[in-house]
Amino acid sequence: MDAKKKLNTINPTADLHKKLEGYPKKGIFSSFIPKPKNIRFETQEELEKVLLLLRRHVITNAPWILTAIVLVIIPFFYSFFPFLDFLPARYFPFLIVGWYLLIVGFVFEKFLLWFYNIYIVTDERIIDVDFYHILYKVISDAKIDKIQDVSYEQKGIFQAFFNYGDILIQTAAEKTQFVFESIPNPDEVVTVINFLIAEEEQEVIEGRIR
Amino acid sequence: MGAFTEVIDPGLVWLLVKILFLFGVAIYLVFSMTIYRQTKLMDQVLKISIKPSFKTIAIFYFFTMVLYFLLALILL
């Protein structure tokens, strides 16, 4: 009875929304977007609100960006290694254009993989869109009331320096573990999910189940 | 390459090079089409208002690849 009274005195919904309003407003290309505007997803219910839209930290794109930069400058060094000299001259413009088209495709694909590999936290559930490569994606979700345990881990210099890490969510849903990889401010996300769990518990006590 | 063309007819070698080149471009054409398909599918899963949409960029990229392929086919 005491626990029920205690839960009734706190108001997780108001606290959570105040917390989310307190974050700086971010654009659609950010990795941590609280209360995103102009975003809906396919299975979103009418009253369901998107609270957080998350992606891998921008710094995780560094390897492919560096690769692209190296690929862009390679043709400038061709005169030092003229290994295609046996080809007729008319082939070269095509090869150069083809090379840069290939780089554009590579960059575009890598960018899309980052952009669409998202994690959504709504007031009702968490959604994990894993976009592994252009031909393979997995979309899974779990209701907030099915979440059993939330934790995060930060390992290595980069994760500590740029403040990002993996969030591990244990659920009693069909998919038992969700891993939100390389998420910025993982401690904040864990706090938000814990708020939502408390809110769900309060909804059950008050009989406000949707 | 020189020693190679002494044994095999040079015309045949160039034909092979052209076929390989066009084959490579054709594979990339399929890849660009796949990117377009994926952006179209993802636009249905996640409705984000961005102008121009990635679907538009992907279709533009695909048609650039088609143009490149056709030009390569005609001019090489």
Residue A163 has pLDDT above 50, yes or no: yes
CA distance A59 to chain B (A): 22
- By three-state DSSP, how is residue A90 classified? coil
The model's pLDDT over B30-66, given as tens digits with 9 standing for 90+, comes to 888 888 888 888 887 777 767 778 888 888 888 888 8
Residue A1 has pLDDT above 50, yes or no: no
Indicate yes or no: CB of A116 within 8 angstroms of CB of B31: no
Q: Which residues of chain A have a CB within 8 Å of the CB of B31?
A: 105, 134
| pLDDT > 90 fraction of chain A, expressed in percent and rounded | 38
Indicate yes or no: CB of A41 within 8 angstroms of CB of B45: yes
Residue A12: predicted pLDDT: 59
b/e sequence A130-147, b meaning 16+ C-beta within 10 Å = bbeeeeebeeebbebbbb
Residue A2 has pLDDT above 70, yes or no: no
DSSP B33-69: HHHHHHHHHHHHHEEE--SS-HHHHHHHHHHHHHHHH
- Flag whether residue A139 sits within 8 Å of chain B, measured between CB atoms: yes
Closest CA to A49 of A196, A197, A209, A207: A196
Residue A8 has pLDDT above 60, yes or no: no
Residue A25 has pLDDT above 90, yes or no: no
Residue A98 has pLDDT above 90, yes or no: no
Residue A159: band (very low, low, confident or very high) from pLDDT cuts 50, 70, 90 = very high
Average pLDDT score over chain B = 80
- Round to whole Å and give the CA distance between B42 and A118: 11
- Round to whole Å and give the CA distance between A88 and B75: 12
- Round to whole Å and give the CA distance between B69 and B24: 10
- Round to whole Å and give the CA distance between A54 and A106: 23
Asked if residue A149 lies in contact with residue A173, where contact means CB atoms within 8 angstroms, the answer is no
b/e sequence A174-205, b meaning 16+ C-beta within 10 Å = eeeebebbbbbbbebbbebbebbbbbbebbee
Q: Which residues of chain B have a CB within 8 Å of the CB of A28?
A: 48, 50
Residue A78 has pLDDT above 90, yes or no: no
Residue A7: band (very low, low, confident or very high) from pLDDT cuts 50, 70, 90 = very low
What is the Cβ-side half-sphere exposure of residue B40, based on CA atoms within 13 angstroms? 8
Indicate yes or no: CB of B76 within 8 angstroms of CB of A90: yes
Residue A200: predicted pLDDT: 85
Residue A56 has pLDDT above 80, yes or no: yes
Residue keyed to tokens 């006590």: A205
- Flag whether residue A84 sits within 8 Å of chain B, measured between CB atoms: no
Residue B65: predicted pLDDT: 85
Residue B6: predicted pLDDT: 62
| pLDDT > 70 fraction of chain B, expressed in percent and rounded | 88
- Round to whole Å and give the CA distance between A152 and A150: 7
pTM: 0.81
Residue A58: predicted pLDDT: 94
Residue A167 has pLDDT above 90, yes or no: yes
CB contact set of A91 (below 8 Å; sequence gap of 6+): A84, B76
Q: Report the pLDDT averaged over residues A167-175.
A: 88
Residue B9 has pLDDT above 90, yes or no: no
- Flag whether residue A64 sits within 8 Å of chain B, measured between CB atoms: no
Which residues on neighbouring strands pair with residue A133, listed in sequence order?
A136
Asked if residue A185 lies in contact with residue A165, where contact means CB atoms within 8 angstroms, the answer is no
Distances (CA, A) of A201 to A21, A25, A111, A145, A208: 23, 29, 39, 8, 10
- By three-state DSSP, how is residue A39 classified? strand
